[in-house]
Amino acid sequence: MQNHLIEAFNQLVGAEHVLTSKEDLRCYSYDATPGFSHMPDVVIAPGTTEEVSKVLALANNEKIPVYPRGSGTNLSAGTVPMQGGIVLLMTRFDKIIEIDAANLVATVEPGVIVADFNNAVAQFGLLYPPDPGTVATATLGGTVSENAGGLRGLKYGVSKHYIMGLEIVLADGRIIQTGGKNVKDVAGYDLTKLFTGSEGTLGVITKVTVKLVPAPEASKAMLAIFSDLDNAGKAISAIIANKIIPATLEIMDNATIRTVEDYAKVGLPIDAEAVLLIEVDGILAVVEKEAAKVIEVLQANHADAIQVAKDPAERDKLWAARRAALPALAKLRPTTFVEDATVPRSKVPDMIRAVKQTAAKYNVTIGTFGHAGDGNLHPTIVCDIRDAAEMERVQQAMDEIFATAISLGGTLSGEHGIGLGKLKYMEDQFGTAGISAMQAIKKALDPNCIMNPGKLVGEC
Ligand SMILES: Cc1cc2nc3c(=O)[nH]c(=O)nc-3n(C[C@H](O)[C@H](O)[C@H](O)COP(=O)(O)OP(=O)(O)OC[C@H]3O[C@@H](n4cnc5c(N)ncnc54)[C@H](O)[C@@H]3O)c2cc1C
């Protein structure tokens, strides 16, 4: 990037917030997504909405690509500066502006870490439900932009269900407000929803107003072991059919169970076809009643064994198995691709079986675990990115997994977004008309295509 532009950015945000050394640029050339990396020309960390506005106005005039970035934990290459340009680091926006406990809303800057925010609202007996595995590191801005979910998705939904309003800097530097604190607000196009999940391709979020819910009074966790995958699938559907919506309903397949047991020795039977981890939450009396009903349903669907946590220590022990799933798989090989192909809940056993067949067909190692209650599975491929022949097979396996999900009536992403990794499958899900409608929105809001170019809807 030319010196006079760097000097102009120094003037706009302060030279100490403009990084240009090779070492610094290297740190922002990748994120948590394997296989994608590119050096930016500069990293800029603005501290106010006005600074973001001025940086974008200049970038837009000069047609310099801009990649907003929170903590860089996304799994879709959302922050990788594939065309060079500016990585716009939003971590200085780290203030919780207001917790309005009486109205169950809060307004937060996008660089606030999700777990810090949840600790703050917990003091008011409140909960912000979206809880990705990265709560301790991911930012509010990143989770809103990815429409992130997590373990509580079945009962509580994903980020978009909690975002009430946004402050956004558009690609040309203009600042807009969408939504706000009103519970009922149907005025105009729903720009809040449009920008939620837009993966930094339409503008930069500088303020977020979220809905909070009362924190549940009690919870009860249990683990059920199945020697037959179909019975586990039937149990998942039967729990919901019995009008119980657990906060968490997770599954691990046999490959994951074996790996977890080898890694963490938590006492899982390695020949089980599936393990379900279920947690109900809410008012104590209701929790007891729902837990009893869930046990009845699990027994009726031939669970081989059910362990119910009697206290927080036992709950933690049950959760240890699920928490170990990703680290255990990741330890097997140097490279880990965590996908999030999602299918209607009743198709979870079909999807798990199909992934197993795909793994055998292409001779790759895949463990499947995930949020079975909402059909959001994480087929996790472990491999070695340095082995070109293996990567060819991994790519074929991935193509087949996403094609299977779509053929089962599913979607490319339950929570991780599209970014670059899944871009090539978008037309399979949305058709050419669907993609061109999305591209029209992109062109209208970002005519020079500076915002995260080439991602989500492809080249402008
Ligand atoms: C081990 C592991 C477990 C995970 N578990 C889950 C999970 O359970 N559920 C889940 O949903 N995800 C999960 N993720 C993915 C990831 O944590 C989420 O996508 C998270 O939302 C990213 O937050 P971040 O702050 O790191 O955002 P980043 O990675 O920095 O950015 C994500 C996207 O948002 C854009 N962006 C960031 N800030 C802004 C802003 N202020 N304005 C506009 N655009 C912006 C970026 O351009 C990028 O496209 C996991 C990832 C890992 C590595």
Task: Tell me the pLDDT tens digit for each residue of 321-337.
Answer: 888 999 999 999 999 99
Q: Return the best residue to mutate from 38, 51, 74 for the ligand 1 pocket (most ligand atoms within 8 A of CB).
A: 74
Segment 197-255, tens digit of pLDDT: 999 999 999 999 999 999 999 999 999 999 999 999 999 999 999 999 999 999 999 99
Find out whether 253 and 375 touch, Cβ atoms under 8 Å.
no
Distance 413 CA to ligand 1 centre (A): 13
- If asked whether residues 185 and 105 sit together in one domain, one would say yes
Residue 427 within a domain:
no
Burial 424-443 (b: 16+ CB within 10 A, else e): ebbeebeeeeeeeebeeebe
**Domain boundary, last residue among 89, 122, 148:** 89
Residue 59 Cα to ligand 1 middle (Å): 24
Taking 90 as the threshold, does the pLDDT of residue 140 lie above it? yes
Distance 101 CA to ligand 1 centre (A): 27
Distance 20 CA to ligand 1 centre (A): 24
Residues 55 and 142 in one domain: no
pLDDT at residue number 317: 87
- Phi/psi at 79 (nearest 5 deg)? -110, 5
Which residue from 258, 255, 127, 145 is spatially nearest to 199, judged by alpha carbons?
145
Say which CATH number the domain at 336 has. Answer: 3.30.70.2740
**Residues of 282-303 as b/e, b for ≥16 C-beta within 10 angstroms?**
beeeebeebbeebbebbeebeb
In terms of Cβ atoms closer than 10 Å to its own Cβ (0-12, 13-18, 19+), residue 36 is middle
pLDDT of amino acid 321: 87
- Residue-wise pLDDT for 19-31, tens only, equals 999 999 999 999 9
Write the CB contacts of 145 (distance below 8 Å, at least 6 apart in sequence): 68, 70, 78, 195, 196, 197, 198, 199, 200, 205, 417
> Which atom of ligand 1 is closest in space to residue 168's alpha carbon?
42
Same domain, yes or no: 146 and 161: yes
Angle at 311 between CA 300 and CA 213, to 5 degrees: 85
pLDDT at 159 > cutoff 90? yes
Residues 245 and 339 in one domain: no
Mean pLDDT within 151-170: 96
pLDDT score of 198: 98
* 114 lies in the same domain as 167: yes
* Ligand 1 center to 89 CA (angstroms): 13
- Helix, strand, or coil here: 260? helix
The chain-wide mean pLDDT, for the chain, equals 96
- CA dist 246 and 266 (Å) reads 23
So what's the pLDDT on residue 78? 97
Classify residue 266: in a domain, yes or no: yes
Q: Which ligand 1 atom is at minimum distance from the Cα of 326? A: 1
- What is the pTM assigned to this prediction? 0.94
Does ligand 1 come within 6 angstroms of the Cβ of 91?
no
**Full domain range(s) for residue 354:** 327-407
- Could you report the per-residue pLDDT of 109-123, keeping only the tens digit for each? 999 999 999 999 999
For residue 69 and ligand 1, the question of a CB distance below 6 A is answered with: yes
Give the pair of three-digit tokens for residue 8.
Answer: 């102009």
CATH of residue 55: 3.30.43.10
Shared domain for 189 and 235, answered yes or no, is no
CATH number of the domain at 273, please.
3.30.70.3450
Q: Say which residue the tokens 């660089």 belong to.
A: 111
Q: Give per-residue pLDDT as tens, 291-311.
A: 999 999 999 999 999 999 999
Provide the token pair at 270: 């390695």
- Measured from the Cβ of residue 123, the count of other Cβ atoms closer than 10 Å reads 9
Mean pLDDT, residues 140-159: 96
Do residue 18 and residue 63 come from a single domain?
A: yes
Q: Which of 274, 301, 325 is the last residue of a domain?
A: 325
How many domains, in total, are found in the chain? 4
Q: What is the pLDDT of residues 87-139, one digit of tens each?
A: 999 999 999 999 999 999 999 999 999 999 999 999 999 999 999 999 999 99
Question: Final residue of a domain: which of 193, 214, 235?
Answer: 214
Give pLDDT, residue 267. Answer: 87
Contact (Cβ atoms closer than 8 angstroms) between residue 70 and residue 109 = no
Mean pLDDT of 174-193: 95
Residues 66 and 168 in one domain: no
Q: What is the pLDDT of residue 4?
A: 96
- Establish if 297 belongs to a structural domain: yes
> For ligand 1, is residue 200 a contact (CB within 6 Å)?
yes
pLDDT at 104: 97
- C-alpha 45 to ligand 1 mean position (Å): 18
User: Would you say residue 129 lies in a domain?
Assistant: yes
Q: Is the CB of 71 under 6 A from ligand 1?
A: yes
The maximal CA–CA distance of the chain, rounded, in angstroms, is 72
The pLDDT, as a whole number, for residue 266 is 86
Distance CA 134, CA 318 (A): 20
Q: Is the domain of 228 the same as that of 175? A: no
pLDDT at 115: 97
- Residues 43-56: pLDDT tens digits? 999 999 999 999 99
Q: What is the CATH number of the domain that holds 116?
A: 3.30.465.10
113 and 205 in one domain? yes
Are residues 65 and 154 located together in one domain of the fold? no
Together in a domain, 85 and 119: no
